[in-house]
Structure 1
Amino acid sequence: MSTYKRATLDEEELVDSMEGEVYPNGIQVNFRGSGSSKGCWAERTHVEKRLLVLTVALSAGFLACICVLLFQFRTRLCLTESCISVTSSILSSLDRTVDPCEDFFSYACGGWIKANPIPDGHSRWGTFNKLWEHNQAILKHLLENTTAQVSSEAERKVQRYYQSCMNETKIEELQATPLVDRIKKLGGWNISGPWQEDDFNQTLLQLAAQHHIWPFFSIYVSADSKNSSVNIIQVDQAGLMLPSRDYYLNKTQNEKVLAGYLTYMVQLGMLVGGQDEAETRRQMEEILDFETTLANITIPQEKRRDEELIYHKMPARELKNLSPAVDWMPLLNAVFSPVEINETEPVVVYAKEYLEQVSYLILNTDRRILHNYMIWHLVRKGAGFLDQRFQDAEEKFMEVMYGSKKTCLPRWKYCISDTDINLGFALGAMFVKASFAEDSKAVAEEMIKEIKMAFEESLATLPWMDEETRRSAKEKADAIYDMIGYPKFIMDPKELDKVFKDYDAVPDLYYENVMQFLNFSARVAAEQLRKPPNRDQWSMTPPTVNAYYSPTKNEIVFPAGILQPPFYTRSSPKALNFGGIGVVVGHELTHAFDDQGQDRLSSISLIHLLEFIFLLSTPPHTLFLLRCLPLRAVSFLNP
């Protein structure tokens, strides 16, 4: 039996054995072995071989790096539906007929302006207005869809309130009756009929406690700006019916507005019961003259920006010495009932000189004029909730003042705005569930965090800021509290109902619903006096297209209403969101360091440590910069 034996041949044996082999086709193939000669690689020394391998490896690595960089920095196009949509929007907003080097604003925004003329009923128009109109359309659907299931009784109250505002048939039927009835309970009005020359302080008390009307000054509860851990009663100047004192005092410049205002006053006086137009005009002229005198003693806002100068804390009993025309203790107890107020109750007065002068004015003015003026406040405040005649009178006056007509605005838009003003947090619960994604809060919070970081990094580059001040500024920036979208309680039906449990609305009595809400809100405010300030309490409703910074709380707030396109879109590239809502975030962040927020450090106390350190460590020319910068910032941010 034969056995298989594996043969092993090396290369030289194989080549030698086959050298000169002739194949059957006659072709001779010659194999030449290496013999004693060496190949190229074999001829290399050990060092050369290593260097060659290293060179090849480095070349390959370099080539790989080039490829990675080219891949990383190549032009990448976003072709998602969202990117295409926003690109189209940007392109349509341009006016490419304009040279951007000559007029960049017109180049960037000219197309949008041409495509969005100011609508009838508006004195201005922009992206804020357009977004609010979009939000209104959402709210309209939510409020009018009464068959849809709502999650809380508070939301049903909102729908009833809106229905009462939309019930124009009932409003026209009642005409001025709801307001006339209120006037009678206050002793009548000399303009519309007989009046009882009742006690001045009693009328003032009823207007304040029952209608939240402040003809001469305002009283409210808010956090003490020098100790933000407690709420305190605060008293400030008030009473003017026109937007500012300048309307009364610059008569030449505002002659048309003052004439329109007087006409409006006469029209309302006649609608409420005035019998003789000439006599009504005469008495309204007296009221206007009194308002003008009040404007003269009102401190202009530009002189009230330094809170340290206008802050005066005192026990309540000192109010009587400051302004003896007013019975302060009965007034305070009526306004804050059922909370008891005694003479030692701390009060902050923000208009000390004004209160002294308004007391003198009250003591030296005819009681009839004072009563007419106070009831005029009630008439003006209630006119917007009455029939079309009152609406027409107001529209004519608004046209004179602002140059726009409200007649083109549909009733539903007015009613949505009014519902949002009064019941905005219950309405906000409906809005958030319909149009605000929960993960938007997390994305917005991350954006705010990044903008804060960029802001803090910029502090290191400011040559006029010393290290102590820089550290204090960073601490304040770190301590800024941000609130995104909505307050948490509105998404809990039980908590929401608890907030609105003492308020109710009926579908067909709009004026009464409004008055009831004023009483309700006054009671809620009174309850805050004995509670610590709630940092999570919002001053804007969720559907609002705006944002704000609170100096006393050191917080920035961004409602769900503004976290919508074009300011913010979940699916848009981050650059677009930074250019949209990021601008708003940066704007509010800088308010922490303007002339209203700069005095409050991270502890939110009104201690001038920041300024004090700055004064001690800064040369005079830099102090000049400090004083100029806030004013420039304010004029730039609030044109």
Structure 2
Amino acid sequence: MSETPTELELQPSVQPSSQPEPELGLQPPTLIQNPLQDQHQLQPASQSDQQHQPKPLCRNLLLLLLGFSLCAAMLGMIYYLHHSRHTENQSAAVSPCVSAACRSASARLSSSADPFTQPCEYFTSRCGSDSLSEFGGSGGGRMRGQGIPGHPQNQKDQSVWPERRRDEGDRRQTDRKTLLLQHLREILETNDRSSSSAVQKTRRFYNSCLDTTSIEMTGAEPFLSLIQKLGGWAVSGRWNQTDFNSTLSSLMRDFATFPFFNLYVGKDPNEVSHGSTRRYIQIDQPDLLIPIEWNSRTQKSEAKTETLRPFLASCQRYLALLGAPPMSSMIHVGLFISLSSELAVAASPLQHRLQKGQLHQRMTVRELQQQAPAIDWLGCLQAAFHPRTLSEDDPVLLHNLPYILQMSRIIQKWLNRHELSGSGPLHTYMVLNLLHTLMPAMPANFSAALGNTEGEDPRWKLCVLETERGFSSVLTHLVSERTEHRQAEEMIQHVFSSFKSKLKELQWTDPKFLELVMKKLGSLTPRLWTSEESSEDELDRLISEVTVDSNSFFSNYIQLLSLWQKRRSNLLTESEEAADILSVTPLLLGAELLFPLGMFVPPLFHHTYPRAMNYGATGFLLAKDILHLLLPNISSHSESVSSVGSCVWTLYQSVSEAAGRRAASSLSPAQQQELWLQYSALQVALQAYQQSLQQRPGDSSLSGRSHAHLFLTAFSQVNCDVDPYRDFMPLEPSFFITVICSRSNLCPANLQCSIKPQHDSPQTC
């Protein structure tokens, strides 16, 4: 295929795996033949013949020749006009994209490796086999205990991309969540003075978070003043011995702090299957500050000495920064760790609770009060969900009732220890939990008190996440404004349609299972996940009570926690699932397959990009996510998974050996399935692009590259996407490019790593 942009002739669909590979691809246009080439050429008569012909016959021949000449001229003109019109249409269809987004994309293409000019090592390097580039956690926000030395949450699965060696040097690539956060950062750092009041407040909040100079100058004074408003604390020697439950209610209502148990809102899965949309208050064990480990032998959590020592040192540094006298701080730290350890032993990991059937246990607030009397449940819940009115008859769902019962007994025991009444260990425990909640608004030395802070998220990322906590509706509005919904919806429909076509091509062990799957898919409605649009006036009213001080992030953060509390309270009565602006994977909700806006942001997607780029990157990710979500156990139902997986792996082994690398002799079933799944996702995305061109012929171009070149290059730039199945992927997904190219005329002739088609092989990838 030429490297110049070419309008691509389309095949109607991806053919079954038994067909040759060229049927999978986009074909170059059929050349328009000159209609004159089929005309018979007239030979002139010989001179002797002319002498024997009568003159009238000569005139007739001349007239006939003249007529043919005129006809040929007219046909030539028609061809010229038709060819000119076709050329103009073709030129318009492949016009270069010159938008700002395309200029940025072109610059990225120029500075990154072209997969068609790379040696085989480019395609055979294992995902994650080289050094890894770490980014912040792929979760939606800050984790309690994060950064504490020895805390198990520090060993959580990081969002990573492989750092691969390219010709231009080492380049770091980012996961989808980080790309979304970078897009939100760009929006928040845009200087648009004509924006609404809510948007301006959101950007001021973000900028005050970035202003670490003001935070450092303010120091710990705002937090110390806040403690005094809560009645002081025994650590400073000034504490008015406030009531336990009143202090707990205040922390839950005003500061979104839950020291002894967690609260959130959600549905009952037992009712969801019957179409219920009702939401309940859910009570769970807390995110403990103390590092603990689960002992599978004793079936209990425990704190080990080697992890408690650095945690103890961190607590001492906290109290020193807050001005606690050195002599008394040891006593208070000891009591804090003792109380924390007792609570920690009662906690258990999610998997254990799931096996024990301890999730979604229903009871009324009255029943909960009877079983766990140390907590004023109605008062605390009323405070957390103010201004909603609750009663003792309202049902709640518990996710670890044994912990809740033990927690109540522990609190009652510590409240009854009269020798500790002046030390206030329960109050100190709550204050240190409040400190952890407010940590993003504290000076850097408080974070440094945790010990080793190497590898922490950059400040901008933390600020984006914190801004989303309170101003999610504003950010959703801003992202929605910048997303072309029609193009996103079109891509979703094409990918989903192509996905269903792919299923029909597979070799199924049980045809009835295919019927069941297709029936299920027929009942699903795939769509872009958006909430009901809020106008700028509505957003202004929503944020009207918030006053953002450009020079005081601490006071801004207190208001953010108040917004978060209102957001949680509103969830109790909302009938629709609010779109999660931080989500980057599809969600199956009832009969709807929802694709969040966060999947359609630059640099993976932009409405001005050539569609080839959008489908090569985002289209592939959509297809991969759909396959993972809807067919988690496909290998047990289709023989195609093992046959295609083995075929691709055999080709990979041959190329690896030629490149001087050694690949494993065989794959596990999970690896085979992941290999088939990602290869199939690329084929699905390719067919979806074909469907798009059939519906709307023509596409723009970038950097003078053909559509096929752009499609596969865009795919190569997201090839090691981070997801829960990453460890099962045995090879670099960009290797699929060589497989596709070896069985089609999609690719430029200068692909350095090629596979010779094995026509004698019974397998077809």
- TM-score, normalization by structure 2: 0.57
Cα distance, 1:212–1:593 mapped onto 2, change above 3 Å: farther
1:498-513 alignment, distance < 5 Å: 498-513=541-556
Q: Secondary structure at the match of 2:594?
A: strand
User: Contact (CA 8 Å) 2:234, 2:428: kept in 1 or not?
Assistant: yes
Q: Secondary structure at the match of 1:98?
A: helix
1:119-198 alignment, distance < 5 Å: 126-128=174-176, 131-132=179-180, 134-135=182-183, 138-142=186-190, 145=191, 148-150=193-195, 152-198=196-242
TM-superposed deviation, 1:214: 0.9
Is residue 2:725 matched to residue 1:636?
yes
In structure 2, what is the equivalent of residue 487 of structure 1?
531
TM-superposed deviation, 1:384: 2.1
- Which amino acid in the other structure matches residue 373 of structure 1? Y
TM-superposed deviation, 1:226: 2.9
Cα distance, 1:471–1:272 mapped onto 2, change above 3 Å: same
Q: Deviations over 1:300-335 (max 9, x none)?
A: 122244696522122221101231221212222222
Unaligned stretches of 5+ residues in structure 1: 1-22, 33-76, 119-124, 596-624
Q: Aligned to 1:347, which of 396, 413, 430?
A: 396
Is residue 2:350 matched to residue 1:312?
no
Q: Deviations over 1:13-64 (max 9, x none)?
A: xxxxxxxxxx9xx9994469xxxxxxxxxxxxxxxxxxxxxxxxxxxxxxxx
Percent of matched pairs sharing the same residue:
20
Q: Deviations over 1:560-589 (max 9, x none)?
A: 465322366753454862554532553266
Cα distance, 1:80–1:141 mapped onto 2, change above 3 Å: same
Cα distance, 1:432–1:184 mapped onto 2, change above 3 Å: same
Distance 1:472 1:98 in 2: 39
CA RMSD, Structure 1 to Structure 2 (Å): 4.5
Q: Secondary structure at the match of 2:386?
A: coil
Distance 1:342 1:137 in 2: 42
1:164-563 alignment, distance < 5 Å: 164-227=208-271, 228-241=276-289, 245-246=293-294, 255=306, 258-276=308-326, 279-305=328-354, 310-365=359-414, 366=417, 368-394=424-450, 396-399=451-454, 404-405=455-456, 409=458, 411-433=459-481, 435-450=482-497, 453-454=500-501, 457=504, 462-463=508-509, 467=513, 471=516, 474-475=519-520, 478-479=523-524, 482-484=527-529, 486-490=530-534, 492-529=535-572, 531-535=573-577, 537-539=578-580, 541=581, 544=582, 546-549=584-587, 555-560=593-598, 562-563=600-601
Richer in helix (by share): 1
Cα distance, 1:422–1:521 mapped onto 2, change above 3 Å: closer
TM-superposed deviation, 1:455: 7.1
Cα distance, 1:250–1:110 mapped onto 2, change above 3 Å: farther
In structure 2, what is the equivalent of residue 608 of structure 1?
none
Max radius of gyration: which structure?
Answer: 1
- Which amino acid in the other structure matches residue 114 of structure 2? L
Cα distance, 1:355–1:100 mapped onto 2, change above 3 Å: same
Cα distance, 1:99–1:153 mapped onto 2, change above 3 Å: closer
User: Contact (CA 8 Å) 2:584, 2:596: kept in 1 or not?
Assistant: yes
TM-superposed deviation, 1:263: 2.7
Query: Greater RCO between the two (CA within 8 Å, min separation 6)?
Result: 2
Distance 2:324 2:591 in 1: 48
Distance 2:358 2:616 in 1: 38
Distance 2:566 2:311 in 1: 33
User: Contact (CA 8 Å) 2:358, 2:401: kept in 1 or not?
Assistant: no
User: Contact (CA 8 Å) 1:546, 1:561: kept in 2 or not?
Assistant: yes
Cα distance, 1:203–1:167 mapped onto 2, change above 3 Å: same
Q: Secondary structure at the match of 1:229?
A: coil
- Of 545-554 and 207-216, deviating more is 545-554
Cα distance, 1:305–1:592 mapped onto 2, change above 3 Å: farther
User: Contact (CA 8 Å) 2:600, 2:618: kept in 1 or not?
Assistant: no
In structure 1, what is the equivalent of residue 13 of structure 2?
none
Distance 2:466 2:167 in 1: 29
Distance 2:475 2:50 in 1: 100
Cα distance, 1:242–1:451 mapped onto 2, change above 3 Å: farther
- Which amino acid in the other structure matches residue 237 of structure 2? G
- Which amino acid in the other structure matches residue 313 of structure 1? R
User: Contact (CA 8 Å) 2:585, 2:599: kept in 1 or not?
Assistant: no
User: Contact (CA 8 Å) 2:180, 2:601: kept in 1 or not?
Assistant: no
How many residue pairs get aligned? The number is 510
User: Contact (CA 8 Å) 2:489, 2:528: kept in 1 or not?
Assistant: no
TM-superposed deviation, 1:378: 0.5
User: Contact (CA 8 Å) 1:567, 1:581: kept in 2 or not?
Assistant: no
In structure 2, what is the equivalent of residue 110 of structure 1?
164
- Which amino acid in the other structure matches residue 346 of structure 2? I
Q: Secondary structure at the match of 2:233?
A: coil
Q: Secondary structure at the match of 2:280?
A: strand
1:4-83 alignment, distance < 5 Å: 29-30=51-52
Distance 2:356 2:598 in 1: 31
User: Contact (CA 8 Å) 2:365, 2:378: kept in 1 or not?
Assistant: yes
User: Contact (CA 8 Å) 1:245, 1:298: kept in 2 or not?
Assistant: no
User: Contact (CA 8 Å) 1:209, 1:522: kept in 2 or not?
Assistant: yes
TM-superposed deviation, 1:553: 8.2
In structure 1, what is the equivalent of residue 759 of structure 2?
none
Distance 2:219 2:188 in 1: 26
Q: Deviations over 1:461-492 (max 9, x none)?
A: 5536955x9637843673355334x53424x2
Distance 1:102 1:173 in 2: 49
Q: Secondary structure at the match of 1:348?
A: strand
Distance 2:127 2:222 in 1: 55
Distance 2:286 2:246 in 1: 19
